[in-house]
Amino acid sequence: MHELSLTQAIIETVTEAAHGAPVQRVVLEIGELTAVMPDSIRFCFEACKPGTLLAEATLYILTVPGRGRCRNCGYEMALDMPYGVCDRCDSLAIDIIAGQDFILKSMETALCA
């Protein structure tokens, strides 16, 4: 389960960036064409956050649909796999233009008094 190591890396990165402030919110962007399962990330986040600056944090996950562009005719289409056939010209030459990223989009910390 690579989601565990990804979640541990997120917690480590956010902890470093928080500079000691408690973290309230973490926002991730996960493309549908990645091999990352959002529900597994949520589970791992809840399991890993106790005892850290993220103990009270809420995790938000934005899912990015897969999109491709045909190199032959330029047509853009939805993709549910990291490959496909152009709906317009039947070409197999498809470039993925969205849905392959895994991004730590933002985090929010509490103000320290």
**Quick one: pLDDT at residue 113?**
44
Smallest CA-to-CA distance from 99 within 6, 10, 27, 30 is with 30
The count of other CB atoms within 10 Å of the CB of residue 48 is 16
Please name each of the domains of the chain with its CATH number.
2-65+98-109 (3.30.2320.50)
What tokens appear for 76 in the block?
A: 């853009």
Tens digits of per-residue pLDDT, 45-95? 999 999 999 999 999 999 999 999 999 999 999 999 988 899 999 999 999
Higher pLDDT, 113 or 27: 27
**Quick one: pLDDT at residue 56?**
97
Distance (Å) of CA 90 to CA 4, 82, 84, 94, 96: 39, 16, 9, 10, 16
What tokens appear for 96 in the block?
A: 């993925």
The SS3 of residue 16 is helix
Task: Report pTM.
Answer: 0.87
**Is pLDDT of 37 > 60?**
yes
Average predicted confidence (pLDDT) for the chain: 95
